[in-house]
Amino acid sequence: MIYMKKIGKEIIKLKDVFKYYRMGETIVKAVDGINISIKEGDFVAIMGPSGSGKSTSMNLVGSLDMPTKGRISLGGGDISELEESDLAQIRGKKIGFIFQSFNLIPNLSVKENVMLPMMFQGVEREEREEVAERLLEKVDLGNRGEHYPNQISGGEQQRVAIARALANDPEVILADEPTGNLDTKTGEKVMDFLKQLNKEGKTIIMVTHEPELAEAYAQKVYWLKDGKVEKITKKKNGFNLEKEERRLFGKKKRK
Ligand SMILES: Nc1ncnc2c1ncn2[C@@H]1O[C@H](COP(=O)(O)OP(=O)(O)OP(=O)(O)O)[C@@H](O)[C@H]1O
Ligand SMILES: [Mg+2]
């Protein structure tokens, strides 16, 4: 098979990034000097044991958080030089977020949840509605727009979250354990949507505990341990994630 996919330009780069937290007398080294490079069209997984810094790294990648030290660039520009309001604007436009716990707003309807990120970008109401309806169709929830989050299942809520993440047509989707609260079958459906989006050109970065998911979907895996990148594996070289995980972290693999 010929590898048709275009290898894109670098869109996110973390260079010697640290994130330390002070907890009384102790310093927690959540992220301890990592380098990450994400290219356009990548499907990247971040793996590692609980507490290894996956969510912290993800929040830094998505510029939801600022590093203690190091450089983070998004689309070629260094974000540490931006004002918070400019940063929020760029983040809202370029990045869509999906969380383990869905994070839908309970007192907004499904459709209003999807419309919300567009409001922050100043999109007119009529267009917000049109786009939200189209995106809900895309995740097979065209008939659920008027429901509220507590009236739909977990898998459906996560698909609403995917639609919401797509609202501003971002280049990058960040997903922190997107299937963590779903059963295997429902999780697969969510993953298939992410795979489809990647095929359509979106860059996907996903945190997961599950080697099978990384193996099935990601082209590149960053393995974190104690806030450091222990190893990077790429699918095209052929890797066996279960074996790698056992080698790096011992037998126990789930939290
Ligand atoms: N706001 C914070 N203040 C203090 N310590 C923090 C904070 N956020 C994270 N940490 C610590 O930093 C380390 C990395 O946390 P992080 O949430 O990134 O881990 P993780 O790999 O996502 O774990 P999990 O798989 O359990 O979600 C942990 O030891 C955690 O306790
Ligand atoms: Mg986490």
Domain that holds residue 48: 10-249
108, HSE (Cβ side, Cα atoms, 13 Å)? 15
Atom of ligand 1 nearest to the CA of 177: 27
Name the token pair of 182.
Answer: 């779903």
pLDDT for res 247: 67
**Mean pLDDT score, 106-117:** 97
What is the rounded CA–CA span in Å between residue 163 and residue 113? 9
pLDDT for res 212: 87
In tens, the pLDDT along 181-207 reads: 989 889 998 999 999 999 999 999 999
> Which residues are bridge partners to 224 per DSSP?
229
Give residues (CB < 6 A) around ligand 1: 21, 23, 28, 30, 48, 50-56, 255
CATH number, domain at 64? 3.40.50.300
Task: Tell me whether residue 5 is in a domain.
Answer: no
Task: Tell me whether residue 164 is in a domain.
Answer: yes
Name the token pair of 233.
Answer: 């594996």
Number of domains composing the chain: 1
Task: Tell me whether residue 215 is in a domain.
Answer: yes
Q: Is the pLDDT of residue 4 over 70?
A: no
Q: Do strands 69-74 and 10-23 pair parallel, antiparallel, or not at all (unpaired)?
A: antiparallel
Task: Tell me whether residue 17 is in a domain.
Answer: yes
Host H or E run for residue 86: helix 84-94
Measured by CA distance, the residue closest to atom 18 of ligand 1 is 53
Task: Tell me whether residue 255 is in a domain.
Answer: no
Mean per-residue pLDDT over the chain, rounded: 89
pLDDT for res 255: 43
